[in-house]
């Protein structure tokens, strides 16, 4: 089961609307919708999801490695390009 599907299923099991879950997480309803559609949550939101929905921590830790950083940009690793592939940042762009 994909993480987004797990979030949606656990939310439904607990009888929470997207709006209610958003309030518990301290995010907007649109953020919950985006997560349920497959967007990676910020680390703080991921942590809150684990607690609120009682998600399996090892699965959440695995997913956390894919979550975006909350502050700043890490430009030392792979960077997404406009076509959706990952490309390594080499410092030779435009060469």
pTM more than 0.85: no
In this structure, are residues 57 and 33 in contact, taking their beta carbons and an 8 Å threshold?
no
The more confident residue out of 5 and 85 is 5
pLDDT digits (tens, 9 = 90+) for 66-80: 555 444 444 444 444
CA distance 55 to 67: 16
In this structure, are residues 87 and 78 in contact, taking their beta carbons and an 8 Å threshold?
yes
**The two three-digit tokens of residue 81, written as one number:** 């390009």
pLDDT digits (tens, 9 = 90+) for 11-42: 999 999 999 999 999 999 999 999 999 898 99
The more confident residue out of 92 and 45 is 45
Which residues are registered as beta bridge partners of 80? 86
């Amino acid at each position: 089961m994909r993480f987004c599907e797990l979030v949606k299923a656990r939310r439904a099991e607990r009888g929470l609307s997207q709006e209610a879950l958003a309030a518990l997480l301290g995010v907007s309803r649109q953020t919950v919708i985006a997560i349920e559609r497959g967007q990676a949550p910020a680390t703080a939101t991921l942590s809150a999801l684990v607690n609120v929905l009682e998600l399996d921590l090892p699965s959440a830790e695995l997913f956390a490695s894919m979550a975006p950083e909350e502050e700043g940009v890490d430009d030392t690793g792979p960077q997404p390009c406009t076509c959706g592939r990952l490309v390594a940042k080499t410092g030779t762009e435009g060469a």
